[in-house]
Amino acid sequence: MATSTLMIGISGVRGIVGESLTPQLLIHLGEAFGTYLDSGRVVVGRDTRVSGEMVKHSVFAGLLATGCSIVDVGVCPTPSLTLMIEEIGAAGGIMISASHNPIQWNALKFFRADGGYLTDLDARQLLDLYYQGEFRKARWHEIQDVSTDARAVEVHARRVLSVVDVERIRARAFRVALDCCNGAGSEVTLRVLRELGCRIENIHCEMDGLFPHDPEPTFLNLGDLCRLVEQGDVDVGFAQDPDADRVAIVDETGRFIGEEYSLALAARHLLGKRTGTVVANVSTSRAVDDVARAAGCRVERVPVGEVNVAERMRELDSPVGGEGNGGVIDPRVHYSRDSLVGIALTLELMAETGKSLGELVNAIPRYHMVKTKVDCNRQRAGEILRRVREEYASAEINLSDGVRIDWPDAWVHLRGSNTEPVLRVIAEAAGEARARSLADEFVAKAKR
């Protein structure tokens, strides 16, 4: 079995279908999770990837073998699944989605009874069970049923619409361009936008799982959306990843605003309603700090990973948080990243201020961020990070997740990925040349 592409960690399990992600592996992971939940009820959903059915039925076999009952919520966004876990009082859930990874990948994401990702301790307990291979074995009369529940996107849409002023947004009749990458958000996002009275120009909203471009919602992959906005009479463009927990934004001129400003705009809006500490990960743009400071608030940074942000938000009763990859968390909806939340809050901000998206973005200090990566296994990534720590020991550094080095005008963050066999290198500065130079410098260091 090809293990170099198998990623097993606290954020879940990812691999290439037919190579490292095999039916046998998936069955054992289902058995491990069923044992971990003590044969409870499990909600299972998936994105639109063509491998989803194979993965789902393999996972079903493992869960059923341990005596779990299964509620199949079908194709839906990850935040829809997390809401359904709470809605029906399940013991936990599994989302089958490799998020931004290319189409040949698939993955399992594991959730607790409250709809949150497993904590570090929870995940390690699950992985211990998996590696030990001592799973609960249900006897013939203990095998439970698989039921279906098609309400996930309805519950999700209703919750998002409940936290915004629907009538005020409808009155603006926004013209919205949408690219869902043929992913799980297609149906529910179109539904929410129609409920908000938007006129929609949509591309790549067929839920066939055949991605029209690389699924990560970055500038290089969203040329079609930018051109659609630029050539049409459109107020704003939105793009999602395949499981719809991340959103990137394009302004009315076709300018790619990107993922980082999704959280900055949400914070700008929500801190005007309730102040408090914003929680963001260490890879998130300083634009969030500028927005918080203008509202008399601060930003607390935590390691990369939705669970780290969500847990700290709960502790601080934070009004808003998220990650700079386009993941916005509004606790009024749920403690999970949600592209629909990001979209609805952006439209409400535009409606309340009467300003265009471009005007709102231009009022926030603009930074240039360069995100790149170096192919690298975990062992090698650890060695690179150790050397960087030693070299910059006297600098202002944050070691909570990899190494982040801050200067007055810029910062750079290096960390081993939890989702790909790569070392991520992110640099941000007020000037594009400075950001590019920093990124190139540290990529070169890593390769040396």
pLDDT at 448 over 90: no
Per annotation, catalytic residue among 51, 58, 99, 186: 99
Residue among 214, 221, 152, 211 nearest 183 (CA): 211
Contact criterion met (CB below 8 Å) for 328 and 266? yes
Alpha-carbon gap, residue 250 to 268, rounded angstroms:
17
Whole-number pLDDT of residue 3: 46
Alpha-carbon gap, residue 92 to 42, rounded angstroms:
5
pLDDT at 144 over 50: yes
What DSSP designation does 281 have?
E
Whole-number pLDDT of residue 377: 84
Instruction: Kindly state the average pLDDT of the residues 203-227.
Output: 93
Alpha-carbon gap, residue 333 to 440, rounded angstroms:
40
Is pTM beyond 0.85 here?
A: yes
Domain 7-150, CATH class in plain words: alpha beta
* pLDDT tens-digit series, residues 7-48: 887 678 999 999 999 999 999 999 999 999 999 999 999 999
* pLDDT tens-digit series, residues 366-423: 999 999 999 988 888 999 999 999 999 999 999 999 999 999 999 999 999 877 788 9
Strands 146-148 and 69-75: parallel
* pLDDT tens-digit series, residues 73-105: 999 999 999 999 999 999 999 999 999 899 999
Whole-number pLDDT of residue 5: 77
Instruction: Kindly state the average pLDDT of the residues 204-232.
Output: 93
pLDDT tier, 2 (very low <50, low <70, confident <90, very high otherwise): very low
The three-state secondary structure class of 139 is coil
- List the CATH code of the domain at 155-362: 3.40.120.10
Which residues fall within 8 angstroms of residue 384, CB to CB, at 6 or more apart?
376, 414, 423, 445, 446
Domain ranges of the chain: 7-150, 155-362, 368-447
DSSP code per residue over 197-234: T-EEEEES--TT---SS-SS-SGGG-HHHHHHHHHTT-
Active-site annotation holds for 99: yes
Whole-number pLDDT of residue 419: 73
Same fold, 7-150 and 155-362: yes
- List the CATH code of the domain at 368-447: 3.30.310.50
Residue among 23, 291, 13 nearest 127 (CA): 13
Residue among 51, 335, 50, 339 nearest 180 (CA): 339
* Average pLDDT over all residues of the chain: 95
Whole-number pLDDT of residue 301: 95
